[in-house]
Amino acid sequence: MKLRERFVVTLVVIAVILAAPAAVAVRSLLTLRQDIVEINVRNAARALQLGRLQAAFRDMSNSERIFLALANSPESPQFANARRMVTENEAKVEVAFDTLSTDEYANITGPAGAMWDSLKVTIAQEQELILSEQVEAADTLRATVVDSLLTR
């Protein structure tokens, strides 16, 4: 083998040695880019779900306040409508929370799930007080317990 052929072979070997890691690096960068895009999409979807959960909580709180405000007139159609809205908005919160607390977000939403369970029990107690015409007790429960749980 002539010197010229050895030189060409050496250059080819060097090129292969340099090209192989570069090809692996490019493939790794493309995979990393795809993973980042997937994470961004997933986080954007979770942010949207979080916004829906916040809106559902706000609507539920508002409907609870309206229900409490109409407690002194239980025969009115507005009272029945407010009670229906409370039930619907609680269901919306439940659906939004369940949607948000799936996959890798289940561990993160665990403490919020415990607070939601506590809040559901307290809201049920508040509704029982309203339906048994103990409006002052329901108002006190809302002021001392429900509002503090909603603001956390």
Successive 10-residue mean pLDDT values, the chain, 152 residues:
88 90 92 92 86 90 90 88 92 88 78 85 89 87 78 64
Q: Residue 18 and residue 98: Cα distance in Å, rounded? A: 51
**The pTM is what?**
0.71
Strand ranges, E, within the chain: none
pLDDT of residue 101: 81
For the record, the structure tokens of 139 come out as: 């108002």
Residues written for the chain: 152
Q: Residue 8 and residue 18: Cα distance in Å, rounded? A: 15
Largest alpha-carbon pair distance within the chain? 107
